[in-house]
Amino acid sequence: MKYMIMLYGSQRDYDAMAGRPTDGPAMTPEQVATMHEHMAAFHQKLVESGELVDAQGLTAPVHARRIQLSGGVPVVTDGPYPETQEVLAGYTVVDVASVDRAVEIAAGLVNPDAPGEYVDVRPIAEGIDDLDG
């Protein structure tokens, strides 16, 4: 079964990665490079095991657009949203034998040095029957 592992971040996180100071320290170029190297190596292992379907990072929330309808008319809100609001920052899709394996993989994407950081794991619906909770 395929599972999507969703990673979250905020505009503040993207600002830190860009080297801009926030209410916390900015990341150095070396720290950003180390993070990218970790993600590349992590995903390469999934390629080698045949479990990786896709993995992508998303651009900063400042580039996001939220669309809602008001009276049937689309209303577009430009990002970023309040900096404390987390948004989807990236995802990894795996095709594995069990949810336990998906959870095991997902645990490797949580930064052990970032208390409170989390990822979500959800099965990907491949048909109407998969929508039944």
CATH 3.30.70.1060 applies to domain 2-127? yes
Each residue of 99-127: pLDDT tens digit?
A: 999 999 999 999 888 888 899 999 999 88
The pLDDT tens digits for 24-34 are 889 999 999 99
DSSP conformation letters of 33-100: HHHHHHHHHHHHHHHHHT-EEEEEE---GGG-EEEEEETTEEEEEESP--TTS-EEEEEEEEE-S-HH
pLDDT (0 to 100) of residue 114: 84
Burial class (CB in 10 A: 0-12, 13-18, 19+), 26: middle
pLDDT at 74 over 80: yes
Domain ranges for the chain:
2-127
- Is 81 in contact with 60 (CB distance < 8 Å)? no
**pLDDT over threshold 90, residue 42:** yes
